[in-house]
Each structure stands twice: as structure tokens, then as C-alpha cells.
Chains A and B, each alone.
Chain A
Amino acid sequence: GESVGLHLPTLSVQEGDNSIINCAYSNSASDYFIWYKQESGKGPQFIIDIRSNMDKRQGQRVTVLLNKTVKHLSLQIAATQPGDSAVYFCAENRYATGRRALTFGSGTRLQVQP
């Protein structure tokens, strides 16, 4: 379900390193997952998505891994850059129910140190 928190977990990495951001989801019936990036004062920006019949999907510098057994989703960013600094949200949906709205996680702040 929805998760709202005042204290975002923070991941701090060095520029050039790889980043891994994790997300645990609660509903085993969820069949679609998305990662969004949100910079301060802006709307969420789509990064990558994955459906439940997949366990891995790759984009440009990003990879999403899905482990349905433990209900875990991760976002891997290769060669992290200062411009990657933002809050990252995972979101889930259960299209099978006909409900098309997303449920968002609480977010993780990524800080890239130069």
C-alpha cells in the first residue's frame, strides 16, 4: 500500500560508481512496476518500467531487477553522475484489477559526491 515518510533514506555514492536503490513492495498481485526520478520542485520523471512476467530490464545506464519471490525491486545506475542526484520512487500497479492508478513507495534520496 501507500507509504509516506518524513525521513527519506539516503544513498550517498561517489561519482563514477554504480548505485543500487532498493524497493520492497507489499502486494504480491502487483503486475507492473515503474521507477521515477524526482528533482526538487519538479514532477516525477519516468526512468524505466518492468512487468511481472520479467525479472530484468535494461535501459540506458539503468537496469531494473524484479524478484517476485521476496517482493523486491531494485534500480541499478551505472557510472553515477552528479545529475543523477534526486529522489527516486518505485511505484506499483495491479492492472488485473482494472485499477490503473499507481501506488508509490516512500522514496530514496541519491546523493552523488563529485
Chain B
Amino acid sequence: GAVVSQHPSWVICKSGTSVKIECRSLDFQATTMFWYRQFPKQSLMLMATSNEGSKATYEQGVEKDKFLINHASLTLSTLTVTSAHPEDSSFYICSAEGRTSGESWDTQYFGPGTRLTVL
């Protein structure tokens, strides 16, 4: 249980184009999902918190108009990188808050990540 998927797993795009990344909780409902960014050999950096049915909450320094987040259902959140540039190249990881059977509290389960390369 508690499986989170991401699609695509990797994407290469030209500078100036937009890229959409999907995050799905496969076997549980997640009212809250999170988007992280990770550079090589570094830790995860939280970009935004995505809440189903409401606007995302962005961390300081993250441009909300550049990184569009939509949480349309309890199992799907999308991150769109608009007008991508080479400096946006990174590993983007989502997580979903949920609970497996037998657990008495929620925890965060992560997707496999999406490698974005902007040429």
C-alpha cells in the first residue's frame, strides 16, 4: 500500500516550452500533496504544498507563476513548469500524505521522481 507514481519519469524539452508532471496516489486518497526539487548530491527542497480543491501554498523564493500546481482530485496533483529554462533542470519529486493499514497516523510517501532536462 501507499504507492505514489509520477509521470513522466524523465523529460527533455527545449528552452521556453512548458512541461507538466503528474503525481498520483495509487491506493489511497491524499488531500495534501507536496512538490520537492532536488539538485545532485543535495537534500530535498520543498517547493509547494498542494491541497485538493484549493490554491497551493508556495515556499519563499518559489515563483508561483512559473511553477503552476493543480490538485484536481484526491489522487492527482500536477506541476507545470512554464517557460522552462536550463536552470530549471532538476529532479522533481512529489509526495502524498496518507495512511497505510495498521498505522494510526498519516505520513508522507514519495513518488519516484521526474528528471527534467531543459536544453
Contact = CB atoms under 8 A, between A and B. Distances in A.
Nearest to A109: B41
A5 B41 CA distance: 8
Pick the 6 closest A-B CB pairs, nearest first. Answer: A43-B110, A43-B113, A44-B110, A43-B112, A104-B43, A104-B44
A107 B113 contact: no
A51 interface: yes
Contacts of B109: 46
Interface in A51-106: 51, 89, 91, 100-106
Interface of A: 2-8, 32, 34, 36, 41-46, 49, 51, 89, 91, 100-107
Contact of A101 (B2, B49, B91): B49
A42 B113 CA distance: 6
A20 B108 CA distance: 23
Contacts of A44: 44, 93, 95, 110
A87 to B, nearest CB: 9
Nearest to A107: B43
A43 B109 CA distance: 9
A40 to B, nearest CB: 10
Contacts of A103: 46
A101 B95 CA distance: 10
Nearest to A45: B110
Nearest to A36: B110
